[in-house]
Amino acid sequence: MSGMVDVAGIRAKLEVDLSGYNAGMEKAKAKTKELGEAGKGASASFGSLNQSLEDLGVSAQKIQSINKYLREANPQILERQLAAIREELKRMGASADQIDKITKELQQAQAEGKKSADVLGSIESVLLALGGTAAIKSLLAQMREFVAESERMYNATKGLVEVSKNLGYSAGEATTAVQDMTKQGFMNATEAAQAYKTSLAMGLDIKQTTELINAMGDAAAYNRQAHYGWGESIVVAMEGIKNGNSTLTDSVGVTKNLSVMQEEYAKSIGTTVGKLTDAQKVQAAYNGFLKESQIFAGNASSALGDYTGTVARYDVAMQTLEAGIGNSIKPLFAELLETITPIIQALAEWVVENKTFVSK
């Protein structure tokens, strides 16, 4: 499987993306510093202008209106507007020197405000460029899912092997049973390993487990609860038997309550439900499922020959592929997480420190 995965290509792509990510971060930090300096200049210029206007007796409301205009002014029409302001200052009785001084301060304030806006726009562009890291995030998320699928298969298989050894079975017996079950097409390897592990842990042997899974497979082919996949419904039903939960055992479409199965079994051996051991309760469920599934006999084969089977085989194939890819890229994924985590931490700290700029 490893030959199918271009690990080197994935590594190269991520290294390029991460390099651009780091460069973008440094540029954003530099622009933030530049904005701070520009902001100081704009503040000083507007402060000087406002003082001059106050000296002429211009109202605070009028000064605020002038400041707002300057911050939003179009440079192409600024000169025409300044000419109108000069005429207004003359009517107010301002001297030529005062008019020249205020005109220069108006021009400087507008220029400083424009500079701040330009720098802020640059920061916005940088942050938008950093949005390209969504591609990195998407790729990492996909890699993470592949690795997670690989881990699920590994954990299920490892758990099965350990349970098998503890019960006196060889690892080969258990894994061969899983492989044979997977070949049928309605369960993937992870689901089959989980089902066998649960069943063996309850006390059933490999032959009984295979019979029970096949019976459940027939029942689930067309009758499982809609929110479960075919193989998934069998795993859930096995957990239901283990935990004595009839709600879970309904997943494959066998709706007889476990308590009823236990009553029937207890009666067949001349005892009562209250005297059944845990092992006998499992045997009761085993017998009950085989009996209740008889009416569905052959459904799995039929379903595997139609659209249901096509979808099931596709799901099994995809799970096998994803687990294989995940196993191949696991070392690379771990290395990438070690590389990118400090970068994400640095970005988080920077955003907290500069949330005013980021929120604009």
145 & 226 share domain: yes
Is residue 356 included in any domain, yes or no? no
* Nearest partner of 264 among 281, 239, 243, judged by Cα: 281
109 & 149 share domain: no
Q: Look at residues 131, 163, 181 and tell me which one is the last residue of a structural domain.
A: 131
Is residue 178 included in any domain, yes or no? yes
What's the pLDDT score for residue 316? 87
167 & 83 share domain: no
The sign of the dihedral angle between the CA atoms of 225, 231, 236, 239 is positive
101 & 150 share domain: no
What is the number of domains present in the chain? 2
155 & 103 share domain: no
155 & 126 share domain: no
d(CA 276, CA 261): 12
39 & 60 share domain: yes
CA angle 298/303/309 to nearest 5° reads 140
* Nearest partner of 174 among 190, 186, 163, 188, judged by Cα: 163
Is residue 213 included in any domain, yes or no? yes
Contact 292, 219 (CB under 8 A): yes
Is residue 350 included in any domain, yes or no? no
53 & 147 share domain: no
Q: Look at residues 95, 113, 131 and tell me which one is the last residue of a structural domain.
A: 131
124 & 146 share domain: no
SS3 sequence, the chain?
Answer: CHHHCCHHHHHHHHHHHHHHHHHHHHHHHHHHHHHHHHHHHHHHHHHHHHHHHHHCCCCHHHHHHHHHHHHHCCHHHHHHHHHHHHHHHHHCCCCHHHHHHHHHHHHHHHHHHHHHHHHHHHHHHHHHHHCCHHHHHHHHHHHHHHHHHHHHHHHHHHHHHHHHHHCCCCHHHHHHHHHHHHHHCCCCHHHHHHHHHHHHHHCCCHHHHHHHHHHHHHHHHHHCCCCCCHHHHHHHHHHHHHHCCHHHHHHHCCCCCHHHHHHHHHHHCCCCHHHCCHHHHHHHHHHHHHHHCHHHCCHHHHHHCCHHHHHHHHHHHHHHHHHHHHHHHHHHHHHHHHHHHHHHHHHHHHHHHCHHHHCC
37 & 173 share domain: no
Is residue 354 included in any domain, yes or no? no
- pLDDT values of the chain reduced to their tens digit, one per residue, 360 residues: 444 555 555 555 555 555 555 555 555 545 444 444 444 444 444 455 455 555 555 455 554 555 554 444 445 444 555 565 556 556 555 566 665 665 565 555 555 545 444 444 444 444 444 444 555 667 777 788 888 888 999 899 999 999 988 888 888 889 999 999 999 999 999 999 999 999 999 999 999 999 999 999 999 999 999 999 999 999 999 999 999 999 999 999 999 999 999 999 999 999 999 999 999 999 999 999 999 999 999 999 999 999 988 888 888 888 888 888 888 888 887 877 787 777 667 767 766 766 655 555
Q: Look at residues 131, 157, 172 and tell me which one is the last residue of a structural domain.
A: 131
What's the pLDDT score for residue 222? 93
Is residue 324 included in any domain, yes or no? yes
d(CA 352, CA 192): 48
Is residue 299 included in any domain, yes or no? yes
What's the pLDDT score for residue 218? 96
Is residue 60 included in any domain, yes or no? yes
pTM, two decimals, is 0.61
173 & 120 share domain: no
Query: Residue 84 sits in which domain range?
Result: 23-131
227 & 79 share domain: no
